[in-house]
Amino acid sequence: MNSPFVKNIPLLDVNRGNAPLREEFIEALTRVVDSGRFLFGPDVQQLERSVAERCGVEHAIACASGSDALLLALLALDIGDYDEVIVPSFTFFATASAVTRVGATPVFVDIEPATFNLDPACVKAAITPRTKAIIPVHLFGQCADMSSIMSLGLEHNIPVIEDAAQAIDAKHGGAAAGSMGAIGCFSFYPTKNLGGMGDGGLLTTNDPKLAERLRLFAAHGMNPRYHHKVIGINSRLDTLQAAVLNVKLKHLQEWSAARTTNALRYHEGLAANHDLGLPIALQGNEHVWNQYTVRVPNGQRNAVKQRLTEAGVGCEIYYPIPLHQQECYRSLGYRTGSLPETERAAAEVLSLPIFPELTAEEQYVVIERLEEALAPRRAAAA
């Protein structure tokens, strides 16, 4: 094997990103400890203002997680029993579970193979009189085809909720992820591009009435104190998390740029390899590369993943089982083959390390070891 001096390369190394900011974190956290304002402290408001400004929206509402953000969006839009919500099946579970949790039915539709995002033609075909929302997911850091999806929403008077958990700072036609639909949902889970030291989430909207409802539902539906207007939940962002996120937010732009540089390096290094499908950023999209996800066709993906792991390269399958094929959704009655592009993606995808601090040298090693994993006999014979 070449490059014996580079050892294991992790899929993600949060410590490399956090270590240089250690002193700043301690200062910010100490301020919160001393203030005693562990909830609704000034850091929470500062984070809300900063994210609203970055996204170009009027309102941002912090909450406890990205999953809660999705749930709150559906509650605020009054979606519940007998309603249908169109979602991709090729996404993280929370996109659909929030729909089921409010009593509505997720309607799973297929994706565009080039971007892994909702196919607008499939969305259109799935609209019924019961459709009460569409939730496009900006998967892996690239916006879904929001121009087409927003037109469908407008035409049929259906609100669009953006699942922007993986796509903070991504753009579509110049508009930021989370600023195009009625509501945008973000996550600060540690693996996201803006990751906290625990759970966190945030909602964006331009509609002042929706903003008020989102805050109401996140606070037990209570306003004023001990007067409950609706059945809400308890979903708050800790001031400690907000303090950490405010420190990190200042670096988000440079981190996204580093991810883009890394993506270009993989493109160049892997372009000649015809055993692989490479991810692309569509024209008009600013991709923020939460994941760099290749396709390994011909049933070879699991073997390649195993060899790459054994060679010390962290890699992961996002996502191995589409949601329409999950045990908990069996009762919805989707058959194998009903969402062919989703099922093919689940069988082919493999995400490689792309975190901002990954070095060029490490990437060359990833490329080399991936090529060996793709053609082990060829490499052994050489």
Ligand X SMILES: *Cc1c(COP(=O)(O)O)cnc(C)c1O
Instruction: Pick out residues in 150-169 that bind ligand X (CB under 6 A).
Output: 163, 165-166
Question: Looking at beta carbons only, is 201 or 277 nearer to ligand X?
Answer: 201
Residue 242 makes contact with ligand X by CB under 6 A: no
Q: Provide φ and ψ at 21, rounded to 5°.
A: -105, 10
Question: H or E element: which one contains 149?
Answer: helix 146-156
Residue 238 makes contact with ligand X by CB under 6 A: no
- Cβ–Cβ < 8 Å for 202, 237: yes
Residue 90 makes contact with ligand X by CB under 6 A: no
Contact with ligand X (CB under 6 A): which of 18, 115, 142, 187? 187
- CB atoms inside a 10 Å sphere around CB 246: 17
Residue 66 makes contact with ligand X by CB under 6 A: yes
Q: What is the C-alpha to C-alpha distance for residues 375 and 304, in angstroms, rounded to an integer?
A: 9
Q: In angstroms, what is the minimal distance from the CB of 163 to ligand X?
A: 5
Residue 95 makes contact with ligand X by CB under 6 A: yes
Q: In angstroms, what is the minimal distance from the CB of 138 to ligand X?
A: 8
CA dihedral 138, 143, 144, 149 (to 10 degrees): 110
Classified as helix, coil or strand, 219 is strand
**Which residue's CB atom is positioned nearest to ligand X?**
66
Residue 91 makes contact with ligand X by CB under 6 A: yes
Question: H or E element: which one contains 62?
Answer: strand 59-63
Q: Which amino acid is at 111?
A: I
Binding letters toward ligand X, positions 129-148, x by CB under 6 A: --------x-----------
**184: which residues sit within 8 A by CB, 6+ positions away?**
55, 57, 161, 162, 164, 177, 178, 203, 204, 205
Question: Looking at beta carbons only, is 202 or 210 nearer to ligand X?
Answer: 202
Residue 110 makes contact with ligand X by CB under 6 A: no
Which region among 11-19, 62-70, 127-135, 212-220 touches ligand X (by CB under 6 A)? 62-70
The residues that touch ligand X, with contacts defined as CB under 6 A, are 65-67, 91-92, 94-95, 137, 163, 165-166, 187, 189, 199, 201
